[in-house]
Amino acid sequence: METVEMNSVSLKRPCSEDDVANADEIKRQKILEKSKAGNDSGQSIETVTEQPVDMKSEIIPNEESEEQEEEELEDSDEDGDPESFADMMKHGLTESDVGITKFVSPHKGFSGILKERYSDFVVHEIGKDGRVSHLDDFSVPVDDEVNSEDPSEETFTVLSDEDKQRLEELQLFKNKETSVAIEVIEDTKEKRTIIHQAVKSLFPGLETKTEDRDGKKYIIAYHAAGKKALANPRKHSWPKSRGSYCHFVLYKENKDTMDAINVLSKFLSGKSPQLTLADLRKTWQLKASIVKPNIFSYMGTKDKRAITVQEIAVLRITAQRLAHLNKCLMNFKLGNFSYKNHPLKLGELQGNHFTVVLRNITGTDDQIEQAMHSLREIGFINYYGMQRFGTTAVPTYQIGRAILQNNWNEVMDLILKPRPGAEKGYLVKCREEWAKTKDPAAALKKLPVKRCVEGQLLRGLLKYGMKNIISAFGIIPRNNRLMYIHSYQSYVWNNMVSKRIEEYGLRAVPGDLILKGATAVHIEEGDVDNYAIHDVVMPLPGFDVIYPKHKIGEAYKEMLVADNLDINNMRHKIRDYSLSGAYRKIIIRPQNVNWEVVAYDDPKIPLFTTDLDKLEGKPLPVLPTDGKFRALKMEFSLPPSTYATMAIREVLKMDTSIKNQTQLNTTWLR
């Protein structure tokens, strides 16, 4: 099987003075020169992966007062004129800039539009048991119906305002009273029961009992377990027979996983401005019942511009309470509730199943059949997709390289300096101020959204000073800091895999690496016929990996030397930034591959039904047999940490970078 290179010339932005390559960069470019190639033209396509990539999406604790305003600012700047966006993206990366240059199939490429509508890209999580997550049941477990913590409407009206004030002061230990007595005016068993329920549900941590005083009935409220009950009220009302974690399926549209969890926690805490009084009654939210995002767990993050279905677990929140959110949330649905004794762990999933529509395809039936058969039988190169490297003129791998070089002034400069390309207006002003004054306080004043990476670094510089950049950088959340160095590892891996395929093609050769269990070993001359290209792995650089015993092993060393790094010493003086390395298969063969070509006239109509459509009984639109346009409907399953767009790239033979997408087609911005 022969490999195919991308042929057309990639567009590069003019170099500014800041961008002029130094001697090391020139040396590195020469080393990589042979594995670089141009790109075939095609239509727009956008990356959807497991990896969170928005370096500005992490919410910093204790900034809740600013959070809503910042989100509105971010959202208001999200959509703009597609033409101006395309113009700004001229300064972005292309695939060849990050080492993505090869194909495995010789078929001729064709064009198609991915994500003309975000609903053209659907991701279903595959759990560790191999079960594909689907939303197909809104009902709550019988356990909830018996032990429902959901208060009735009368619960909110049975207590007077004076009673509520006294109960709140008791609950929050604001006075010296040890109990509060509430007289039962209309003494019936039903009335007493409602008052008991109202106190316990509206003021978690309080218990009640009935007493006779002077011939009258009183409900006495008191603390169940001191201040500990107030700190964790759910602990004292949760049935012992019920699992501590409510697992549910989250169906979301056009929202990434972390944003979705932040929204759920806000609604459950009653902090959303969209909640009406009726919503509050239904969702039962109080000051003593703040729900933090860290009580949610999940197996993998899913990207924004798609419909995704995944399992979530949350600690001691009932299914009843979660189910009520379906009445007040936009673009979310929760269902398939169950109780279990364990949370979910990141990485536990087997992978994801993708349903993808490529609209307005130009390929012939033969081209499509060849492309899809190749995808099913051979697979695609397991490159790290464009989303791994950021979307601006300063790629994330450059920052990662500077961290590994211990060049902290360059780290600071790369994050904060002005850059051409697509950025929000306030970021541009912040960068300009920084370039002019190098004053963190002045630059921070230009930045209303202070939880972005730039804001976090500037706050760190204010706190620790310009001579302690390491500590200032440490204010950025750990996952985001590590993302930079992982981006550099990915950059090296992509380049080395392209070089490996260029040098040896799609066959296993002596000196390649394969995994035996979790251990990497070299293929020996006498064993080479026992292995195929699908068995071969290549290392991400680190102190705990071995390298191929052929030309590519030397190429790794040369590339790191050009970057002023020692491949034999990947331990950093700051432990967090020490790279142990890992192994990654170079070719992935998708499972459960199916496809169909359909005709359509209206680009806005859906071409398949989602889980929500099925639950709501929505029929699939009747499609014409001879429509103006054709679409390719694809389905396939991939393991974790593989990029669906790299599979689609292999089918279409096109550059998946946003730079290329926006130059060719801006319809994905709708």
Q: And the tokens for 171?
A: 């609950």
Give the bridge partners for 381, in sequence order. 587
The rounded distance, in Å, linking the Cα atoms of 385 and 93 is: 12
Is residue 459 within 8 Å of 415, Cβ to Cβ? no
Backbone angles phi, psi at 556, to 5 degrees: -55, -50
First-residue to last-residue Cα distance in the chain: 40
Is residue 24 within 8 Å of 564, Cβ to Cβ? yes
Task: Give the three-state DSSP class for 585.
Answer: strand
Q: Around Cβ 641, how many Cβ atoms within 10 Å?
A: 15
pLDDT at 144: 61
Backbone angles phi, psi at 470, to 5 degrees: -60, -50
The rounded distance, in Å, linking the Cα atoms of 167 and 203 is: 7
The distance of Cα 71 from the centroid of its chain, to the nearest Å, equals 17
Strands (E), 517-556: 519-522, 536-540
| 151 — pLDDT class (breaks 50, 70, 90) | low
Is residue 259 within 8 Å of 275, Cβ to Cβ? no
The rounded distance, in Å, linking the Cα atoms of 36 and 10 is: 10
Q: Of the segments 69-83, 143-157, 308-322, 380-394, which one has the largest average pLDDT value?
A: 308-322
Could you tell me whether strands 307-315 and 245-253 are parallel, antiparallel, or unpaired per DSSP bridges? antiparallel
Is residue 513 within 8 Å of 539, Cβ to Cβ? yes
Q: And the tokens for 365?
A: 């039936």
Alpha helices in 289-395 (DSSP H): 319-324, 365-377
The string of DSSP codes covering 391-431 is SSSS-HHHHHHHHHTT-HHHHHHHHHS---SS--HHHHHHH
Backbone angles phi, psi at 212, to 5 degrees: -95, 130
Backbone angles phi, psi at 114, to 5 degrees: -100, 140
Least confident of 49-58, 131-140, 354-363: 49-58
pLDDT at 498: 98
Q: Of the segments 10-24, 199-213, 289-303, 564-578, which one has the largest average pLDDT value?
A: 564-578
The rounded distance, in Å, linking the Cα atoms of 598 and 595 is: 10
The rounded distance, in Å, linking the Cα atoms of 181 and 216 is: 11
DSSP designation for 234 = G
Average pLDDT score over residue span 641-645: 93
pLDDT at 320: 87
Tens of pLDDT along 59-99?
Answer: 333 334 344 444 444 444 444 444 454 455 566 788 999 99
The mean of the pLDDT values for the chain is 81
Q: And the tokens for 502?
A: 């260029």
The distance of Cα 311 from the centroid of its chain, to the nearest Å, equals 14
pLDDT at 29 over 70: no
Closest listed residue to residue 349, CA positions, set 638, 45, 86? 638
> Which of the following is catalytic: 40, 97, 150, 303?
303
Tens of pLDDT along 461-518?
Answer: 999 999 999 999 999 998 889 999 999 999 999 999 999 999 999 999 999 999 999 8
pLDDT at 291: 83
Average pLDDT score over residue span 5-34: 37
pLDDT at 76: 44
Is residue 563 within 8 Å of 28, Cβ to Cβ? yes
DSSP designation for 564 = T
Tens of pLDDT along 158-207?
Answer: 888 888 888 888 877 777 778 899 988 888 888 888 888 888 777 777 88
Backbone angles phi, psi at 365, to 5 degrees: -60, -40
Tens of pLDDT along 194-253?
Answer: 888 888 777 777 888 999 888 889 999 987 655 554 445 445 467 888 899 999 999 999
668: left (phi over 0), alpha (psi -120 to 50) or beta: alpha
The rounded distance, in Å, linking the Cα atoms of 108 and 137 is: 44
CA triple 308-310-312, angle to 5 deg:
135
pLDDT at 176: 73
Q: What percentage of the chain exceeds 90 in pLDDT?
A: 52
Average pLDDT score over residue span 578-601: 95
21: left (phi over 0), alpha (psi -120 to 50) or beta: beta
pLDDT at 1 over 60: no
Alpha helices in 465-568 (DSSP H): 469-473, 478-504, 551-562
pLDDT at 215: 84
Closest listed residue to residue 44, CA positions, set 647, 670, 655? 655
- Rounded to whole angstroms, what are the CA distances from 390 to 38, 517, 658? 20, 33, 10
- Residue 303 is among the residues annotated as catalytic for this protein: yes
pLDDT at 441: 94
pLDDT at 554 over 60: yes
pTM, two decimal places: 0.75
Buried b (16+ CB within 10 A) or exposed e, 100-134: bbbbbbebebbbbbbbbbbbbbbbbbbbeeeeebb
* Polymer length in residues for the chain: 670
Is residue 15 within 8 Å of 546, Cβ to Cβ? no
